[in-house]
Structure 1
Amino acid sequence: MTIVLLPGPGQALVLARSITGGFRRGLAATLGLNTGTVLHAVAAGFGLSAVLAASTTAFTMVKLVGAGYLVLLGVLAWRSGGRPDPAPRGRPGGYLSAVLVGVLNPKVALFFLAFLPQFVDPGGGAVLAQFLALGLMLAGLSVAWDCVLSLAAHAMSARITANERLAWWRTRITGGLFVGLGVRLAFTEQH
């Protein structure tokens, strides 16, 4: 459960989307991020996480694409100048961009490589199913926590977005946070 509570780009995305677009946008981000979590679990089950961990080139490519995407999200937030997210709430773009944030984080893949295998019993049959079950449990816990964050952010959003100065600062802080997370990811070392 502690893993779910640790702050990172996913939680920043959920909070930003909930404040600017409401609970539904926050939920779309949550579901997208955790689709990425399940995809990482499946990849780990097929051994792809091991390839990412073993290949410096693959790790670097995923890392840099993920870092670039986070920086792009940060620049877009920064440039919005405090205006609400222009995308309609029902549009799936929030979900798809969150899937990208989740999938393009090589640290998540390495987590699945380092952490999940200790709970998988190769003698217990269906290794892929075991990885998938563990990934679904982790995603379920994460969805529950992110929904709490999304509801709380949405509850405060009227106050945050009503004040133009506060909205301007929020987008600057959010944009800076995403750029900072992208830069940090770009300099992440492969272990």
Structure 2
Amino acid sequence: MTSLGIQHFEAFLLACIALNMTPGLDTFYILTRSGREGRAVGVAAALGINAGCIVHTLAAVLGISAILMTSALAFSVLKYLGAAYLLWIGLRMLLTRSGSARPPTVTRGKGLAAAFRQGMLTNVLNPKVALFFLAFLPQFVSMQASHPQLGLMVLGLSFIGTGTTWSMVLALLGGHVHRLLNARPHIGQWMDRVCGTVLLGFGVKLALQRQS
């Protein structure tokens, strides 16, 4: 770890665990997908979200995230793309008719790939996540080390490792909800409405966020 410049790695891991367990959009998305479409779909959603974290880690290592911190235009473009995507998903869940023979989830019938893709996009298109990686990781790496970029990469992958572990737990919990919804389809219809509303709320919140 010395040549990588990593400092206080144990404290970093504890912070990662606490941050990953804090409820947010990712937690909500995984539980929703797993609860409505089964454990395997929830796992795919979780993997997609953490794949998005890999993108943010690479961006932080390469310095690309710094552009978002210094460019108001770049920040706004990414912010509004992410907000529009969340609003689109939320509206589709709200507007899908409940009378359909198939449960009205927005990605029903599209399989694991759709869950992975949506999870990744909701993460990648959130500029606050990009800025978080840029601000958080360097606090535990000395820039005077021989290979600080590798140190940032190790920390990013460690964060992703703890996040993936917690995401799998959420997917398994959602699987229990899925069995309940299969027994009582009307609950699933209300769940779609609630989920769509919450996604709209996240989209509006993202659109109103300011560059810090």
If the length of structure 2 is used for normalisation, what is the TM-score? 0.84
Which one-letter code corresponds to 2:30 in the other structure?
Answer: V
Give 1:162 deviation, angstroms. Answer: 2.9
Cα offsets for 1:97-119 (capped at 9, x unmatched): 21111100111111112211111
| Residue 73 (structure 1) shift | 1.3
Moved more, 79-88 or 23-32: 79-88
Q: 1:70 to 1:88 in 2, by over 3 A?
A: closer
Range moving further from structure 2, 56-65 or 127-136: 127-136
Fraction of identical pairs, as percent: 35
The letter of the residue matching 1:128 is: Q
Partner of 1:83: 104
Residue 106, structure 1, aligned to residue 127, structure 2: yes
1:186 aligns with 2:186: no
Whichever residue aligns with residue 54 of structure 2, its letter is V
Q: Distance in 2 between matches of 1:96 and 1:140?
A: 19
Gaps of 5+ in 1: none
Residue 173 of structure 1 corresponds to which residue in structure 2?
Answer: 194
* 1: CA distance, partners of 2:158 / 2:182: 34
Q: 1:30 aligns with which of 46, 60, 72?
A: 46
Are 1:42 and 1:128, in contact at CA under 8 Å, matched by a contact in 2? no
Aligned residues: 190
What TM-score comes out, normalization by structure 1 length?
Answer: 0.93
Deviations 1:144-170 (A, max 9, x none): 111111111111212134323311210
Which whole-Å deviations, capped at 9, do the CAs of 1:120-150 have from their partners, x for residues lacking one? 2222222322222111111111111111111
Contact preservation (8 Å) 2:36, 2:188: no
Letter in 1 for 2:108: P
Alignment gaps of 5+ in structure 2: 1-16
Aligned equivalent of 1:136: 157
Q: Give the aligned partner of residue 43 of structure 1.
A: 59
User: 1: distance between equivalents of 2:150 and 2:37?
Assistant: 36
Once superposed, what is the RMSD of the aligned Cα atoms? 1.5
